[in-house]
Chain A
Amino acid sequence: MTLPLIVAKSLRQHLLSTVVTAASIALAGGLLMAVWVVKTQSNDAFTKQNAGFDAVLGARSAKLQLVLNAIFHLEASPGNLPWTDYEDIAKNAAVALALPIAVGDNYRGYRLVGTTTNLFSVEHAPGRKYRVAEGEEFAAGYMEAVLGSFAARQLKLKVGDKFHPYHGLNFDEKQKHEELYVVTGILEPSNTPADRVIWIPLEGIQNMKGHDAKSAAEISAVLVKLKNPIAGRGLELMYNKQGNRLTFAWPIAQVVAELFGKIAWFDKVLELVAWLVAAVATGSVLASIYNSMNERRRDIAILRALGARAHTIFLAVVLECAAIAVLGMVAAFAVYLGITGVAAHIIRTETGVVLNAFAWHPILAWAPAAMIGLSALAGVIPAVKAYRTNVAENLVPVS
């Protein structure tokens, strides 16, 4: 009971420095946890995200560009392919479903993606299809649109609302199309990039006024679901090795993993920065306690005069440092939720990929353990100073 009392009293007596030091631990700990969780979760989310498809067929290009454009609705389209290529792959015995898409327009920055109503039969996750939560599906050939849940919320569009598409993938007020589309439905949230897309009939994009006339017989890509994912190897050989006109991006996870492989150095830098911040914060615990040792000498001498052993004082100082870290790490979870929440919002807005700040990750256990351990370790230096405090000199003047 005595040690906790001594530690609690000391924390309270040095309240300002306790709060400031704990705050620096909170910021560092929160940053460390957030960096790790955002990094790991985005890596997992992107590499495991396939929106319900196994492969993408598109014009000859880099696989990554094709996947980013067709699955994540990022990047520019690498080019179009003739409708007949869609018909060919759709008939292939290895293919369970082929979904043609056409891109090229937007509404206030949110992409319009033309496709068929087969979209609504795709399972984006086991047992979960792209389902209209409000209203109804669009009808082929009509100027109707079904909005992804995130796009609808951000654009504040509801069923029955009408809008004019804009030409291009980036919003430019001068590029307004004449056609007027009506919102017939809103998709239920799928936590896939489809949530931030405006889905319209394929013919809508193909026949939009102002588009090149030959685009009426072209599409941007084909999203492919295979009967057996292994069958992708044969198609890859056929399109990528034997042919030279098209690219078959398969498997999607591996293509995205290559992207993360390329930016792995950035992850390392981020980790290093986070660890440096954590080291500086634990150093601040050392500095804070060490700098206050002069004003603590008298109290230490009094405690020793009352019979406290030197190692009790040593332990009290180490525990005080650990206690500051404990307080800081409790607050660090609030910082972590704040940073992760902002990061998740940005990633969702930009890519449609959803991160969950409340999901368990081992860093949430070992970062606090590491910070508390490092702080206690940092406390050893002032603790040694406390251990060596000359009792007689600091108690009363020698007469």
Chain B
Amino acid sequence: MPLLEICQLKKSYATPDGGTLVVVDLPEFKLEAQTQVALSGESGSGKTTFLNLIAGILAPDSGSIKLNGLELAGLRESARDRVRATTIGYIFQTFNLLQGYTALENVLLGMSFGPGADREFAKSLLKRVGLDAKLNHLPRQLSTGQQQRVAVARALANRPKLVLADEPTGNLDHTNAGESLKLIREACRENGAALLLVSHDREVLAQFESVQELGKLNRAAK
């Protein structure tokens, strides 16, 4: 059974002129457990909306999203929050670290709403991403690359089955992007998490054995 199974997924938004804009219209998508898949997608291809639907941040208009055997589409918002807290890790392009929290606290928060705070595991994750000397640093005291690594550690903090990465290297320079991508892939592998990454960067996509084009999968993007 696939870890993620999507069928006839649709999401649209109301436009200011009273019309409807379909952003996602995806007949089928599957992702096996512990695999790593990259989705290529240009601006407007609906990639962030697609990831937000999988994460349960957005509710679909119709269709089915089965994650780890659980149908997300019919769940109430609080139940989707629970699934996200326990099953999904999310890495954002802009990292989205909480600025008032230290690196360690950011990682601890990543597990607090799910399995519960485990200080030692949080420290071990930060050590894994090379930040064991920066546990008590605030995001503004870290370089961009270091902030990205905190975000990676936080995404893995709740021991997720699936890590979603939305243009994770988009804000990094060439060298940092390469290292960061390698770290994300290794860390997911080590923690038994599947990785679904979206990017429009050809160099990033070239690192993946499995790349699918969201523009072709998503009928709304055509």
Q: Please tell me if the beta carbons of A395 and B92 are within 8 angstroms of each other in the complex.
A: yes
Q: Please tell me if the beta carbons of A392 and B92 are within 8 angstroms of each other in the complex.
A: no
Contacts of A242 in B (CB 8 A): none
Contact count band on B: 35 or more
Which residues of chain B from 32 to 63 have a CB within 8 Å of any chain A CB?
43-49, 52, 55, 57-58
Contacts of B57 in A (CB 8 A): 304-305, 391-392, 395
Tell me the complex Cα distance, A397–B117, Å.
30
CB distance from A392 to the nearest CB of B (A): 5
Give the residue of A303, A309, A399 whose beta carbon is less than 8 angstroms from that of B109. A303
A306 at the interface (CB under 8 A from B): yes
A16 at the interface (CB under 8 A from B): no
Q: Please tell me if the beta carbons of B81 and A310 are within 8 angstroms of each other in the complex.
A: yes
Contacts A395-B57, A395-B96 given: A1-B112 contact, CB under 8 Å? yes
Chain A positions 294 through 332: 1 when the CB is less than 8 Å from some CB of chain B, otherwise 0: 000011001111111111100000000000000000000
Q: Please tell me if the beta carbons of A310 and B77 are within 8 angstroms of each other in the complex.
A: yes
Contacts of B93 in A (CB 8 A): 396
Tell me the complex Cα distance, A312–B100, Å.
18
CB distance from B213 to the nearest CB of A (A): 15
Best-surrounded residue of A1, A391, A397 (most CB of chain B within 10 A): A391
Tell me the complex Cα distance, A305–B98, Å.
12
Best-surrounded residue of B55, B81, B82, B158 (most CB of chain A within 10 A): B81
B85 at the interface (CB under 8 A from A): yes
Best-surrounded residue of B43, B45, B52 (most CB of chain A within 10 A): B52
Contacts of A310 in B (CB 8 A): 77-78, 81
Tell me the complex Cα distance, A392–B56, Å.
10
Give the residue of B43, B81, B110 whose beta carbon is less than 8 angstroms from that of A309. B81
Give the residue of A2, A303, A398 whose beta carbon is less than 8 angstroms from that of B117. A2
Chain B residue nearest to A302 (CB atoms) is B96
Contacts of A307 in B (CB 8 A): 81-82, 84-86, 113-114, 158
Tell me the complex Cα distance, A311–B81, Å.
11
Contacts of B46 in A (CB 8 A): 399
Q: Please tell me if the beta carbons of B77 and A396 are within 8 angstroms of each other in the complex.
A: no
Chain A residue nearest to B113 (CB atoms) is A307
Q: Please tell me if the beta carbons of B117 and A1 are within 8 angstroms of each other in the complex.
A: yes
Contacts of B47 in A (CB 8 A): 399
CB distance from B23 to the nearest CB of A (A): 8
The count of chain A contact residues (Cβ–Cβ below 8 Å) is 27
Chain B residue nearest to A301 (CB atoms) is B96
Q: Please tell me if the beta carbons of B78 and A10 are within 8 angstroms of each other in the complex.
A: no
Contacts of B101 in A (CB 8 A): 9
Interface residues of B (CB under 8 A from A): 23, 43-49, 52, 55, 57-58, 77-78, 81-82, 84-86, 90, 92-94, 96-101, 105, 109-110, 112-114, 117, 154, 158, 166
A-B complex: 10 closest residue pairs judged by Cβ atoms: A307-B85, A307-B113, A2-B112, A13-B100, A309-B81, A9-B100, A307-B84, A302-B96, A399-B48, A392-B52
Q: List 27 A-B contacts (CB under 8 A).
A: A1-B112, A10-B100, A13-B99, A13-B100, A299-B98, A302-B96, A305-B92, A306-B84, A306-B110, A307-B82, A307-B86, A307-B113, A307-B114, A307-B158, A308-B113, A309-B81, A310-B77, A392-B52, A395-B52, A395-B57, A396-B48, A396-B92, A396-B94, A397-B48, A399-B44, A399-B45, A399-B47
Interface residues of A (CB under 8 A from B): 1-2, 5, 9-10, 12-13, 298-299, 302-312, 391-392, 395-399
Knowing that A310-B81, A392-B58 touch, tell me 12 more A-B residue pairs with CB under 8 angstroms: A9-B98, A305-B92, A306-B85, A307-B82, A307-B84, A308-B81, A310-B78, A395-B92, A396-B93, A396-B96, A399-B44, A399-B48
